[in-house]
Amino acid sequence: MQRLWTASLLGAVLTLLSPIAAHAATFTFSTPLSGEQQVPPNSSSASGLATSILDGEPTAWTFRYDLSFSGLSGPLALAHIHVAPLGQAGPVVHDLDSPPIGSTSGRIAGDWTSAEVVAAGVDPSKVFNRFLAGQYYFNIHSNAPGTTFLTGGEIRGQIEDPMTRSVPEPSSMLAVLALGAFSAGSVLKRAKVAG
């Protein structure tokens, strides 16, 4: 009887979790932007903060971002995501959506999707894994006279966070629930023996 109860509980849990298993993970990033992170670093007093979420699985995902910046030395000219590790410069891979060109402060919100990556002939799982490895950065370029901020960017922020939180992998959740079901069965068995 106890085995039947444990198997029934585990079956119910698996049924309830099947929609969760179809959704791989959600990763949250908090990214400060500054001139110190540029390559080479600069002394700009401008700053920014981006919050972003990578949601989905390696082959089907959406990266949503909400970035605020202020104090640029000149009007905003360009805003991108580049690919390169911290301390290195790399090529543009995504233009940020609807940047307030010409402003010295503002907000940029948008997304980048696996469908866009596929349309560009790139493997979406490669991009997904680069996000998790901290291989992308936000870069805000201004058109400040007498600076290199147009070509190199005025402020930068690496899209990584040691405190990145993620929804547990479905297999991890199943293992924890299976262990719980096994423990519940053991308690029932001991109670039956003791009674």
pLDDT of residue 165: 41
pLDDT of residue 161: 62
What is the rounded distance in angstroms from the CA atom of residue 4 to the CA atom of residue 169?
A: 27
Query: CA nearest 149: which of 65, 94, 95, 71?
Result: 71
Q: Domain locations in the chain?
A: 1-24+169-195, 25-167
pLDDT of residue 126: 97
pLDDT of residue 56: 96
CATH code of the domain occupying 25-167: 2.60.40
By the 8 A CB rule, do 174 and 6 touch?
no
pLDDT tens digit at each of 195 positions of the chain: 555 444 454 455 444 444 444 456 899 999 999 999 999 999 999 999 999 999 999 999 999 999 999 999 999 999 999 999 999 999 999 999 999 999 999 999 999 999 999 999 999 999 999 999 999 999 999 999 999 999 999 999 999 965 544 444 444 444 444 445 444 454 445 545 555
Query: Is residue 84 helix, strand or coil?
Result: coil
The conformation of residue 35, written as its DSSP 8-state character, comes to G
pLDDT of residue 119: 95
Token pair for 193: 């023996």
* Residues contacting 176, CB < 8 A, separation 6+: 168
| Beta pairing partners, 28 | 53, 165
What is the rounded distance in angstroms from the CA atom of residue 134 to the CA atom of residue 136?
A: 6
Token pair for 103: 């402003």
- Name the pTM for this structure: 0.73
What is the rounded distance in angstroms from the CA atom of residue 36 to the CA atom of residue 157?
A: 9
pLDDT of residue 166: 43
